[in-house]
Structures are given as structure tokens and as C-alpha cells.
Chain A
């Protein structure tokens, strides 16, 4: 039982990372109703943009992160304008969207590898990821105690902050209400005078910003590589589906459930099976509760 506290902390950290990815993915899915796989590559774009601004151009850390988040948002918006918007105008099927987004994913990932090489890079200047906090000291009944790094704490807090901000945006602002209207029925939303193209563009911008932030934070926690997007995306998708697709809170719940199952799973089996465990969980949910924990 000695590692139990650390295991719980690790699960929560993993859950927080998946939360970030799942929130943006869910926002986009909830609005346009297709699986935007290109979203995964945007996490890597965010990580590399921060790397470019901070390490290559030597800009201030906070400024680099803000610039990187906006740049990722802009790229997400641009992809929507260039690809998805046209497909929507043609009323393409979901499969077409899925394959097109797969193409976008492959393209972005390969471009990153060309410009930045496919080597693993770290974003943080000190390898340990900043200060380390001890949550529980070693005690007699809890065993070894648990630690969390500064970056991981920031990940946890920003996950919660973004969830809160997004919930506020969706509930309280006109823009948020317009998003909900488009999500419910794009045609009707158009009829009542909502500029749906603009709203959807906005959703892609915000979603991509969240993806970018997730990529940056993961970059500070572990590091960045062009292929990082796939596993983050897949975890985000799994979290969204098991939590309840298209539902922002459901995604958060799913993310933490996934974090716990994964970490406790590898405690019993072994680390390499993490992905298999995650996808096993997805299949179990798809079979027995396809609507997820929170039905929309």
C-alpha cells in the first residue's frame, strides 16, 4: 500500500491532462458533430509554437505561451476555413469529415517533424520541471507519501480553470448561447439570424487554443515530439466518449475516470499496457454504455 498516495496523485494529474484535451475536443464535437482528429495535431502545434517562441526566439515565458496559444487557435480556425467549412457547405457525411481530419492530422504532424525534427525536446529550462511539492509526507499509515511538481499543479489548476471559464462562456454569454443553438440545430440557428459560420469558426478557434495550451503544459511536464498529438488525442477522445460525448462536464468526469483506471491498471499489470487498458475501457463503454456516464 506504500505507493497508493502517489498512485492517486498520478491518476489525478493524468486526469487533468486528459481533461484539458477532452474539453476542447468535446466543445468542437458538440458543435459540429464530427470527430475532429486534426485536433490531436494541434496539441503538438501548441507545444512547438511555445518551443519556437521561448527557446528559439528567446521571448519571455508568459508571452511565449500566450502567443503560442493564439497561434494554435489561429491554425485551428484556418483549418476550419480551408477544409471543414467547404465540406459543411457540401453537406458531406461524417465519414468524409473523419477522413479529411485524419489527413489534416497527418499533414500537421509531418510538417512539425520537418521544421523541428522528430527528436524529443523539452520545454522547461530545468529538467525536473520546477519545484516539487510534497503533498503527504511519509507517514506511518500512508507509507511513502506523494509528490507533485509545480508544472503538474499548474496543469491541474488550468484544467479546472478552463472548465469553469468554458462553462461560464457557454451559459452566460450571447456567444455561448449561439454555440448551443448551432449545436442543437444549425439550420434553425441560421434561420433565427445567427451567423453560424462565424460561430463555428469561433468554436474552432477556442477549441484549438485549449488544445494548444494542453500541448504546452504537457511539454513542460514531460516534453514535446511531433507524434505526441496522437496519444493525447486518443486519450481525449476516450475521455469524451466514456464521459458523455458533447458534454463538457462529462468529458472531465471521463478524463479522471480514465486517469484512475490507467494508473491503477498499470499498478497491477505493467506500464507498457497503458494504451491497451485505455482502449479496453473505451470498448467496454462503447458496448455497455455508449452514451457515456452523463447522457446528453
Chain B
């Protein structure tokens, strides 16, 4: 049971990440591969505030989201000059640069040693110390994120995003400034990823740079592509599927280091087969 709760919490965290990235990739059509960097920024900010200053978790998470929003604004400003695969490559670069900051700015992040002893959240004297209560917290935040993003995507703002994806030039003719919209959605996506990062740091109670490598961004991308681009439910489903699948592999009885690699084999195969036979994913409304 504990194990199932653990998996459910992970699914929740990755579903938030998926939904946040889907805003950028699925709805706006920008192939960003840097979500793990924002996830990490949120996790590190929260962890550092909790460990060093004893700030309340929720306050720390909000500060983390604001800080991530500011950094992602600068990154988005640079990225907005690129299109297509250059955009993807540029975002790749930022993931690697931010990862090297986590790894090498040892005075603050303690580098590869990581930050242990991150406290569990508490609110009005109520502490989310048991995994079950943490699950409830994760799911409610997921629900909030989901409702917020759905509201965002069905609003007129969301329609402009889809229009950017379909034909940016046509939109400019109508007097819109796509760059503003792209920046705003990139920043919102990053801030939501930071929220997932805050949850992750507090749940695992320990973070180190290895959780925020480029591969993690690819994994989040796989979640939304599998679930379906521009479909929020798809992202939740994708997270569920890709988190549970490796657990199923574990029961097949591979030794643990092979099992870890088998996961990657499966992720790789999923990406290749989806691109070959169903580029819009399971429930997608938009093809890459």
C-alpha cells in the first residue's frame, strides 16, 4: 500500500510537469526540452529555503515559482528568437547550463552531495508527514494546476496560443504580437514545473543535480507526446502510464541495473513507434 501511494505521488508530480510542458509544446507548438531545469529550480529554491531559513513550505514553493518565472522569462526571451529545431536545441542548451549550475555552484547547492533533510510541508499546524496526506496534497495541487491550465487553454488567450502553433505569420497580420504570448506561456509553464519541483524536494526530502538532467526533460516530453499534445488529460494519462510501466518491468524480474536500462529502452521505443505510427499520441489534438 505504501508503495502504491509512493507511485501515486510520483504520478501526480509528473502529471503536473506534463501539463505544464504541454502548455508550451502542445498548445503553442514550441518544442521545449528544458522543463527539468525549471523543475530543478523550483526544487532547489524550495529545499534551500526550507533547510537554511525554515520558511514555510507553501511560501517557499511560491518564492520558487516566482524565481523560476523570472529566470524562465530571460530564457524565454532568448528562445523566442528561434523556431523549429533550433528552438529545441536552444532549450537543450539551457537545460545543460542550469544543470551545470546545480552541479558546480557548490557554495549554494552543495554540488553532487545534494541537499538532505528537506522538511515535509505543514499548514496551520497540520503537517503532511505521512505519505498518504502528502498524496492528498499532491493530488489537490494537481487538480488546481489542471483546472487552471484548462481555464487558460479554453480562454481567448488559449485560442491565440493555438493560432501561434498553426500559423504565426497569419496571426501577426491580425495585429497580435506572438512573442508576448509565447513568453507568457513559457513563463507559466516554467512556474508550474517549479511547483512540481517543490513537491518533489519536500516528498523525497533530499535533492541532488542528477534528478534534473537533460534526460529528465526528455522523459517529460515523452509523457506528453505519449498522452497526446494539446490534451491535458492525455498528459495525466501519459504520466500514469510511463511511471507505472517500469514498475511492471520490475515484476518481470530483471536485475535492478538492467531494469533501469530497460526503462530507457522502453521510453526510446515508445518515442520511435509513436513518431512512426501515431505522432499525435494517444489522445492528441495536434501533430508535431
Contact = CB atoms under 8 A, between A and B. Distances in A.
Interface range for B: 35 or more
A34 B85 contact: yes
B167 interface: no
Interface string B237-269: 000000000000000000001100111110111
A276 interface: yes
Given A110-B264, A272-B100, A273-B100, A98 B85 contact: yes
Interface in B81-136: 81-82, 84-86, 88-90, 92-94, 96-97, 100-101, 103-104
Contacts of A270: 104
Contacts of B89: 35, 237, 241, 282, 286
B261 A110 contact: yes
Q: Which of B31, B81, B221, B264 has most A Cβ within 10 Å?
A: B264
A176 B272 CA distance: 30
B261 A113 contact: yes
Contacts, number: 124
Contact of B85 (A94, A107, A234, A283): A94
A110 B78 contact: no
Nearest to A103: B271
Given A286-B82, A287-B81, A98 B88 contact: yes
B214 A100 contact: no
A275 B96 CA distance: 7
Interface in A226-257: 230, 234, 237, 241
Nearest to A227: B215
Contacts of B104: 270, 272-273, 276
Contact of A106 (B88, B92, B268, B288): B268
B4 interface: no
Given A114-B262, A273-B104, A286-B90, A92 B275 contact: yes
B103 A87 contact: no
Contacts of A110: 261-265, 268
Majority-rule SS of B interface residues: helix
Interface in B66-92: 78, 81-82, 84-86, 88-90, 92
Contacts of B61: none
A280 B225 CA distance: 29
Contacts of A87: 275-276
Given A93-B288, A114-B265, A273-B100, A99 B90 contact: no
| CB-CB nearest 3 A-B residue pairs | A103-B271, A107-B268, A106-B268
10 contacts: A83-B275, A87-B275, A94-B84, A100-B271, A103-B268, A103-B275, A107-B269, A273-B100, A287-B78, A290-B86
Interface of A: 34-35, 83, 86-87, 92-100, 102-111, 113-114, 117-118, 230, 234, 237, 241, 270, 272-273, 275-276, 279-280, 282-283, 286-287, 290
